[in-house]
């Protein structure tokens, strides 16, 4: 079963969305010029030195983890979740609609930013990468997908232990996929930070829009019910 609205926490959700989006815009503003001028940031070099010193077996694990956040993997799991929403669940179909907006939207936003900044991948990358480097698409996609799962679980009527288990796993996957993009120098660390920022911002915007839709739907049902009883 599912609790379809979190209207009591809506103001908090709105504030978090504004703060996240504002912080992300500030980060892009501060870092953007250096990225456009293809300058290397100090934080990138420091973190690269740390990851280079890691044992080879750690890099191999990170390479496996990064495949979980690939476009084919996230697309397949997203379609499965969409199918569940539409065909088997008792959840409002709005969840399927806004999940689609969340995933398709983050893909489009990330691609647009990659085209705009056109930052080359690190010269010493070991595992390739065909698109521009900034921001990290694996990171933004993982945030959008697993973040939406965390939201679904939080507003569900699952047991507390089940919520903790699922959401800790989802949070771990966001962190692991994000970190894995730095190992092997697939992305600069600032690419990953940018992916986290835009991923969480768009995720909260999507959730906020979903909550607004659900609240309007609930109000219309109440009005309709009152008019029928009058």
- Please give the chain's pLDDT, 230 residues, in tens: 444 445 567 788 888 889 989 999 898 888 887 787 766 788 888 888 887 777 888 878 888 888 777 778 888 888 888 888 888 776 668 888 999 999 999 999 999 999 998 888 886 655 556 678 889 989 999 999 999 999 988 888 888 999 999 999 999 999 999 988 888 778 889 999 999 999 999 999 999 998 888 887 766 655 555 555 55
Q: Assess if residue 200 is contained within a domain.
A: yes
Q: How many domains does the chain have?
A: 1
Whether residue 222 lies inside any domain: the answer is no
In the block, which residue shows the tokens 């507390």?
A: 160
Q: Is residue 204 one of the residues assigned to a domain?
A: yes
Domain membership flag for residue 151: yes
Tell me what pLDDT residue 2 has.
44
Structure tokens at 126: 């070991």
Closest of 177, 23, 34, 24 to residue 119, by C-alpha: 34
pTM: 0.83
Are the C-beta atoms of residues 154 and 5 closer than 8 Å to each other? no
Residue 224 in domain:
no
Tokens 């699952």 locate to 158
Residue 4: inside a domain: no
Q: 136 near 192, Cβ under 8 Å?
A: yes
Cα 51 to Cα 66, 87, 149, 186, 201: the distances in Å are 15, 44, 30, 12, 27
Q: Is residue 226 a part of any domain in this protein?
A: no
Residue 230 within any structural domain of the chain: no
- Give residue 129's domain range: 9-215
């Amino acid at each position: 079963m599912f609790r379809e609205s979190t209207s009591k926490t809506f103001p908090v959700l709105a504030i978090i969305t504004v703060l996240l989006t504002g912080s992300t815009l500030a980060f892009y503003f501060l870092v953007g010029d250096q990225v456009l001028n293809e300058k290397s940031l100090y934080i990138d070099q420091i973190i690269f030195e740390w990851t280079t010193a890691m044992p080879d077996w750690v890099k191999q694990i990170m390479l496996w983890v990064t495949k979980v956040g690939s476009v084919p993997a996230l697309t397949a799991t997203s379609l499965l979740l969409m199918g569940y929403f539409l065909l088997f669940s008792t959840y409002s179909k709005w969840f399927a609609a806004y999940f689609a907006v969340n995933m398709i939207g983050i893909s489009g936003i990330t691609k647009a930013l990659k085209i705009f900044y056109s930052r080359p991948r690190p010269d010493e990358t070991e595992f390739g990468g065909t698109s521009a480097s900034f921001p990290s698409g694996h990171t933004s996609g993982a945030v959008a997908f697993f973040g939406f799962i965390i939201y679904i679980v939080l507003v569900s009527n699952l047991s507390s232990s089940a919520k903790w288990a699922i959401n800790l796993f989802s949070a771990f996957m966001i962190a692991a996929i994000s970190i894995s993009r730095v190992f092997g120098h697939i992305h600069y660390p600032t690419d990953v930070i940018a992916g986290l920022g835009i991923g969480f911002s768009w995720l909260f915007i999507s959730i906020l829009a979903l909550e607004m839709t659900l609240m309007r739907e609930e109000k219309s049902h109440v009005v309709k019910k009152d008019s029928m009883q009058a």
